[in-house]
Structure 1
Amino acid sequence: MSFDGTFTHAMVHELSKQLTGGRVAKISQPYPNEVMLTVRSQSKNYPLLLSAHPSYARIQITEIPYANPATPTNFTMMLRKYLDGAILAELVQVDNDRIVRLNFNTRNELGDRQRISLVLEMMGRHSNLFLLDLGDQRILDLIKHVNPDQNRVRPLLPGATYQAPPAQNMINPFVSATNIEALVHDFPAAEVLAKQLQMTFQGLAHDTALLLARALHNNSQSVGENFHAFFSQFDQPVPTLTENAAGKTAFSAIAIHDSTVRSQTFPSLSQLLDFFYQDRAERERVNEQAGNLIHIVRNELKKNRTKLKKLQETLAESDHADEYRIKGELLTTYLGQVTRGMKEIELPNFYDDNHPLKITLSNQIGPSQNAQKYFNRYQKLKNAVAYVNEQLAKTEAEINYLANIQAQIELANPKDINEIRLELQQQGYIRLPKTKSRKKPRLQISQPEQFHASDGTLISVGKNNLQNDKLTLHTANKNDIWLHVKNLPGSHVIIHQANPQEQTLTEAALLAAYFSKARASASVPVDYVPVKKIRKPNGAKPGFVIYEGQRTLFVTPDEHIVDQLRG
């Protein structure tokens, strides 16, 4: 089931019980399209997510942690101005549409009563979140400003009067069952009936309409009774996650009776959505937070790989440098046989009596100049070898570093992206914003993620190069155990114990494999060694260390075990 009108109905019903009468205690906007309201209700804090994301728009209570930006957005400041300390009077769904109104009672600067509304429209790429003055329906602000030339249907800018999206002229199925008997009679096939139901009743996604079509054919009751029984389920939802034979998952507000899918139920709709959206939404948030980082790293990788190829070609050519020397010597020896204007000549080869050597000439220069040209080419290639080898080493190190950054972005949580951006600024890949101060920004390094082995031993995992360096070189004890996936980009992992049990060592190795480029692989080699044997070469890039005396474990990453260790 999609987050359609029926799911919205069930969600509003659930949230109303938990939040109505609660006070807004905290407001933040951790991501561009999403707002978090912490509502204090029934002696508990509820983090309410209001998402106007183009793909994952939704409203729910979420337990997924998030990091606040250092500087609040203008929209956040407006929300705090009008809603800080406000009382949530009601949550209302507009008909059976994907529009939810959160109406608040508050007081303005003069102490007068004021009614403010947050209107969340969950409509794909047109999703938006409005802050309204309920007195005159004026838009105080909205999370996405849209210029009039981009939307001529209604104004989407602060100061304009709020207008609801154009009406669909459909029937709210929670209010009326008009025409249902005629539809079932005229369209007996479930697939065809489902399409007609979508065209008649408001807020039905295709999967919901198909479930309804099948339910209407229950012969034990009348069509009208089947219709009302189906929609009554959404007032007492059974949050359900289903997985089909192909591994595709879906969520539903009602129980799914289908032997072809596996199902799992959750205590609440919000917990269901947390489980369903965690990986999907987190990855999308990382892409949003990363901004142009992915583009910059890809371009730098492409540039360095092209450079590496050219250097390798130059080095391969230098292997044949002696051929240019021999040709120069032969031309000098037989200079009298060479005349200006010749394009090639075949001369005896005193290094190989049985095979004369054919030599290409330039017809624009004289014999001695042709000979000198070959000597110059020989000398240039010989001189280039040392430089090319030096550049090859630097370029390979650059590629390894960038590949490591790319892997970190792929594995990162949204809160990790800012540190990666700061690191790239420090390394010169991103231009620093122009400021009066010439000082580079100070790197505020967050704490690595912490896990606990089965025996309670603390295990720390660095999630980016800055965390890796701090964890390995400054935080870890010299006798702690350091782990890293072998020959691939990945996190530094520290077991905070000198002699860990075998199971603890295996669990830490599993974490090292999971937080690496080899996350989706089987039998991943992981090196481990005491921290005292780790060394960082002078001038090395962030996150790069060398070590010796390591031992190797082979493990298979398992997300379920990672979650257990995290808990």
Structure 2
Amino acid sequence: MSFDGLFTRAIAAELNQQLAKGRIGKISQPYPNEVILTIRAHRHNFPLLLSAHPSYARIQITQIPFKNPIVPTNFTMSLRKYLEGAKLLNIEQLANDRVLFLNFATRNELGDELPLQLSIEIMGRYSNIILIDQTTQKIIDTIKHIGPGQNRYRTLLPGANYIQPPQQAKINPFNDNDKQYQYLVADYPNREVLAQKLQQVYQGFAKEHALYFADQLHRTDQAMADNWQATLKQVNHPAPSIVKNEDQRQVFFTFLAFPTKNVLHQTATLSEILDLYYQQKANHDRVQQLAGQLISLIRNQLHKNQKKVKKLQQTLVASKHADQYRIKGELLTTYLNQVRRGMTSIELKNYYDNQKMLHITLSPNLTPSKNAQKYFKKYQKLKKAVIFVNEQLAKAQEEIAYLEEIQSEIELAEPEDLPEIKLELQQQGYLKNQKKAKKNKPRQSTSQPTVFYSSDKTKISVGKNNFQNDRLTLKTASKNDIWLHAKNVPGSHVIIHKSDPTQQTLLEAANLAAYFSKSRQSATVPVDYVMVKRIRKPNGARPGFVIYEGQKTLFVTPEPELIKKLAIKPNN
């Protein structure tokens, strides 16, 4: 994990510079494990994200927009009660651990000074955010409640005494008076082994950072102590970047100045590099978490329909022999005088197959005529079954295509898109309708398509779910706008809000249509485009389904970097 003790110290230094002496304005909790404190400092509002997510725990200033829930959580209400209007004095780190204390000055209802502390512990699945009364060292509230049954050493519940996380028996590298690293270099000249020993001896070293320190200690251009101190001082002069490791398989974020050849992205601040690194990862995880029920439902329905298709196809294979029953019935009728009651079988010349002899099984208890009728009935039954099976097969395949489209929508969705996807599944009968909301409950706002801008500043809209697609194509778009969609696969409706776009704009919009489709990982994606006036929705069609004619096709390769550029609103 790149968010080690060293990175924690670097981000604390950056946040102290930007936020110290600022005041808290708004407080919100957009997701179960994440809090946003809007801090007014230096005449700017800074959204400070505190995350106790088990995989993406961190602290940073974020520019990613979040949507507040309609009903605030109990923890949000506690923070608002105690911290709204509070002054942030400073941010302190616990030794070189992944624990930061945000110290606040505020007053209680009686006007007395009330020193408060907000602790953020960045410790994987044990991550937490804790509001503490510094006067009594009592916990006011926590974002995750941990009872004595879960942790005997450390109870994290309102009213409990606050106990700091247990300290590891390791050296704080910033207080290493004995210079232990010199002995380690002497005993372990191998770079990888030295990095492992640095992690074992010193507090707060991730693997990537330990390897970097090992490289610096092996440098011979200046004294080892100078290299050590110069590397530690980078926490106050960071080089925020996303770096690929030596085997090119993984990337990580860092504050250290890695070689340029390994650097993928650089930003001005550590918060910006965290936004860049976590935006897609964290967003995808949030969607997977919030849409867990929908994902499970879609997966089960797909499995059910795929099994149904397999059985229907097997029935179709069996029904291909229907004509054999008809032929046997006709042969028995033709040669009825050769058939005797009580016979169990007979061989007759098949005039449909060059007079070859055909073996026909008979029921000895039936008359020759009824044996022939028996074969005709089997033929008619299978013939009718073929029609029914084909109808059911078409319905099952149509349902699979629809479910795969919903599955693709969830994969591409933002958290705010999920309520409409859920509503659609309710309307289509896959989910039970919820009870009617109370009259005084705020109405859920309608999600909007995502807006992009082409190189020549032409506006392009992208629907992210079927309701958005229908509204965008059938209501919002002008008749002469250009509509695009990845060919023959689930995907977003894309609208170029212009009747005569340039070829460059067409290609960029086609790239959007390819990227926001099931084929986003493909090397070449065919994308149809046509004027909106040629789009038609059949009566009774499912949401998002349309038909069109007169289209042309472009072939593009989805480019994530291009998508990021198109998302930036141009200056007028």
Instruction: Please report the TM-score for the alignment, with normalisation by the length of structure 1.
Output: 0.91
1:150 shift after superposition: 3.2
Greater CA deviation, 321-330 or 445-454? 321-330
Hey, what's the Cα distance between the residues in 1 that align with 2:106 and 2:362?
91
The correspondence of residues 150-161 of structure 1 with structure 2, limited to 5 A, is: 150-161=150-161
Determine whether 1:560 maps to 2:564: no
- The match for 1:216 is 217
- The match for 2:19 is 19
Hey, what's the Cα distance between the residues in 1 that align with 2:200 and 2:124?
19
Q: Deviations over 1:196-241 (max 9, x none)?
A: 2222211111222222223223345444333222212212212132
- The match for 1:249 is 251
Q: Which amino acid aligns with 1:320?
A: H
Aligned pair in 2 of structure 1 residues 336, 65: CA closer, same or farther (>3 Å)? same
Contact 1:445 1:466 in 2 (8 A): no
SS of residue in 2 equivalent to 1:356: strand
Hey, what's the Cα distance between the residues in 1 that align with 2:488 and 2:175?
63
Hey, what's the Cα distance between the residues in 1 that align with 2:376 and 2:79?
76
Hey, what's the Cα distance between the residues in 1 that align with 2:437 and 2:7?
52
- The match for 1:28 is 28
Contact 1:308 1:396 in 2 (8 A): yes
1:166 shift after superposition: 1.6
Aligned pair in 2 of structure 1 residues 184, 456: CA closer, same or farther (>3 Å)? closer
Hey, what's the Cα distance between the residues in 1 that align with 2:453 and 2:223?
57
Aligned pair in 2 of structure 1 residues 140, 218: CA closer, same or farther (>3 Å)? same
Greater CA deviation, 288-297 or 235-244? 235-244
Aligned pair in 2 of structure 1 residues 399, 444: CA closer, same or farther (>3 Å)? farther
Aligned pair in 2 of structure 1 residues 362, 110: CA closer, same or farther (>3 Å)? farther
Aligned pair in 2 of structure 1 residues 366, 458: CA closer, same or farther (>3 Å)? same
- The match for 1:96 is 96
Contact 1:256 1:263 in 2 (8 A): no
Hey, what's the Cα distance between the residues in 1 that align with 2:271 and 2:374?
77
1:495 shift after superposition: 1.4
- The match for 1:268 is 269
Contact 1:506 1:555 in 2 (8 A): yes
Hey, what's the Cα distance between the residues in 2 that align with 1:409 and 1:349?
62
Q: Deviations over 1:265-319 (max 9, x none)?
A: 3211111111222222222222122222222111111111221222233334333
Greater CA deviation, 369-378 or 179-188? 369-378
Q: Which amino acid aligns with 2:21?
A: G
1:329 shift after superposition: 5.5
SS of residue in 2 equivalent to 1:71: coil
Contact 2:350 2:356 in 1 (8 A): no
Greater CA deviation, 368-377 or 294-303? 368-377
- The match for 2:448 is 447
The correspondence of residues 443-522 of structure 1 with structure 2, limited to 5 A, is: 444-522=445-523
Q: Which amino acid aligns with 1:255?
A: A
Determine whether 1:181 maps to 2:182: yes
Q: Deviations over 1:528-549 (max 9, x none)?
A: 1111111111111110000111
- The match for 2:108 is 108
Hey, what's the Cα distance between the residues in 2 that align with 1:321 and 1:71?
63
Aligned pair in 2 of structure 1 residues 437, 29: CA closer, same or farther (>3 Å)? closer
Aligned residues: 560
Query: Once the two structures are aligned, what percentage of the paired residues are identical?
Result: 56
Hey, what's the Cα distance between the residues in 2 that align with 1:533 and 1:423?
25
Q: Which amino acid aligns with 2:252?
A: A
Q: Which amino acid aligns with 2:258?
A: I
- The match for 2:302 is 301
Q: Which amino acid aligns with 1:432?
A: N
Contact 2:342 2:363 in 1 (8 A): no
The correspondence of residues 101-140 of structure 1 with structure 2, limited to 5 A, is: 101-140=101-140
Greater CA deviation, 388-397 or 374-383? 374-383
Aligned pair in 2 of structure 1 residues 223, 362: CA closer, same or farther (>3 Å)? farther
Hey, what's the Cα distance between the residues in 1 that align with 2:427 and 2:86?
43
Q: Which amino acid aligns with 1:381?
A: L
Hey, what's the Cα distance between the residues in 1 that align with 2:332 and 2:88?
95
The correspondence of residues 319-398 of structure 1 with structure 2, limited to 5 A, is: 319-328=320-329, 333=336, 337=340, 339=342, 345-349=345-349, 351-352=351-352, 354-359=355-360, 374-398=375-399
Aligned pair in 2 of structure 1 residues 170, 336: CA closer, same or farther (>3 Å)? same
1:257 shift after superposition: 3.5
Q: Which amino acid aligns with 2:32?
A: P
1:501 shift after superposition: 2.3
Hey, what's the Cα distance between the residues in 2 that align with 1:334 and 1:520?
69
Aligned pair in 2 of structure 1 residues 464, 212: CA closer, same or farther (>3 Å)? same
1:111 shift after superposition: 3.4
Hey, what's the Cα distance between the residues in 2 that align with 1:350 and 1:229?
97
Q: Which amino acid aligns with 1:254?
A: L
1:15 shift after superposition: 0.3
Contact 2:404 2:490 in 1 (8 A): yes
- The match for 2:10 is 10
Aligned pair in 2 of structure 1 residues 195, 370: CA closer, same or farther (>3 Å)? farther
1:371 shift after superposition: 6.2
Greater CA deviation, 414-423 or 147-156? 147-156
- The match for 1:76 is 76
Contact 1:177 1:227 in 2 (8 A): no
- The match for 2:61 is 61
Hey, what's the Cα distance between the residues in 2 that align with 1:335 and 1:154?
95
Hey, what's the Cα distance between the residues in 2 that align with 1:47 and 1:456?
29
Q: Which amino acid aligns with 2:416?
A: K
Aligned pair in 2 of structure 1 residues 168, 372: CA closer, same or farther (>3 Å)? farther
Q: Which amino acid aligns with 2:67?
A: A
Contact 1:419 1:444 in 2 (8 A): no
Q: Deviations over 1:378-432 (max 9, x none)?
A: 3322223333332222222211111111111112222222221222122221223
